[in-house]
Amino acid sequence: MTVYLVGAGPGDPGLLTARALELIATAEVILYDRLIPGSALDGASPDAELIYAGKEGGGRSMAQAEIERLLLEHGAAGRAVVRLKGGDPFVFGRGGEEAEALRDAGIPFEIVPGVTAGIAAPAYAGIPVTHREGASAVAFVTGHEDPSKPASALEYSHLAAFPGTLVIYMGVRQLETITARLIAAGRGGEEPAAVIERGTLADQRVITGTLATIAAQAAAGGLRAPAVAVFGQVAALSERLRWLRAGPLAGVTVAVTRARAQGSALVGRLRALGAAVIEAPAIRIVALDGAIPELAGFDLLCLTSPNGVRLLFERLLASGRDARALAGMRVAAIGPGTAAALREHGVLADVVPDRFLAEGLVTALSGVRVGRALIVRAAGAREVLPIALRERGAIVEEVALYETVAEALSEEQLAGVATADYVTFTSSSTVRFFCDAAGGRLGAGTRLVSIGPVTTAALRERGLEPHVEASRHDIDGLVDALVRDAVARLGRAAGRAS
């Protein structure tokens, strides 16, 4: 097998390469860094071994020697190994050291380049690192050298004289020292400069100034790593060319408790709106062995979740059937998400209620004649729908294709949730399992967001009152309700400040 040193890009999941996604999906072992896109591991196999190998000043870190030991161990065992690194593995990513260790051990490896932050972050801030009129060259410079070196390898007189753009990686803590040395070496203090924090992400921040002022401006603005600094004439173009603007949830932290596989869409929506997202999946979907009966005798099929749709078609295909097996029956979906999942399989739902609850589906079916109904759903689901159909004289058969079980939450995840501005709940099971795991550890100012009345009832059973409830009981409705609340609160805060 091969060890793949893979660049995950600077943060925006859309900048992951097709090759990176392909390797993540097929890897048996993934050693991943801290600064990778939040959804980068969503496509990993459920059986893959995921090993955190990040480094964080003052936080948990894995020594480089241990990373290389693990690469050699798993590579020598013949496993498909992905070393997933933020940015590009060969641009200040220590990929060269890891490749040398693999070569010395005789283990095959492959390099998969990624989009590096030194180009992407300035681009998202409207700064071209080269420009026909303003910069014919660009230099990438580390602001954090190996502390074991006897002396700096950087010659500031050469950097000061460099006729183009300087891009400084990992230098936000040393910004005052770096700029002072450049000015002392002869680079003009009036030269345009910029610092980009969390570049390419929806909550990126950009501060512009001059070489002489940028360190103080960045400190006053509270800019922190990860950030890159840009010195040169092109930095002045940021105000004119900047195209990524702060979303309505900029500065807001949201915890998502939905299952990881289903939560990616919600996480993506929130991040696109500028939120910092803490993924704390409290539940996991486990497939059951329920068999799909012969469908010819049913006149109604009810599906209550996208998970049910996915597993229904998996079972149909496994038994040599496809969407044609649904011919002749009405198909009811509990909401637009379930209906969308059906469309992906070429089936248009006949019935979708206005209220995305079992009660809404009962109402929507009130004018439909039902002799025999099949309900595909989760084990332990509410009995509202089957009871209502039986009361109308229908013969109802239920098939449980999956169950929802608790997903263990780490101390790091729970600590993050305790600092969140919002925690979202998309089902009663997310409430139940999250409360069991968290043990009441919620921040005093944390606001709870419920997708609808059933989830709200589950919160109240645990002694919690939701601050926000979606009027439309789907992911779009939950996001809309959260944004309205956040904007209103920010507006009130701005009013008090003025």
How far is 260 from 148, CA to CA, in rounded Å? Answer: 40
**Is-catalytic flag, 55?**
yes
- Residue where the block lists tokens 């929507």: 364
Is residue 4 classed exposed, middle or buried when 0-12, 13-18 and 19+ CB atoms within 10 A define those classes?
buried
Location of structure tokens 């009027």: 471
62 noted as active-site residue: no
Neighbours of 277 (CB within 10 A): 26
Which residue out of 12, 85, 88, 170 is catalytically annotated? 170
Dist CA 44 CA 84 (whole Å): 12
* 322 among known catalytic residues: no
The residue from 55, 350, 476, 480 that is catalytic is 55
Instruction: Report the C-alpha gap between 158 and 180 in whole angstroms.
Output: 15
Sheet of 192-197, strand order = 138-142, 165-169, 227-231, 192-197, 205-210
Set 33, 88, 203, 474: catalytic member: 33
- Distance, in Å, from the CA atom of 91 to the CA atom of 206, rounded to the nearest integer, reads 22
d(CA 17, CA 390): 52
Which residues have a Cβ under 8 Å from the Cβ of 481 and sit 6 or more positions away? 449, 468, 469, 470, 471
DSSP code, position 291: P
Catalytic residues: 33, 55, 170
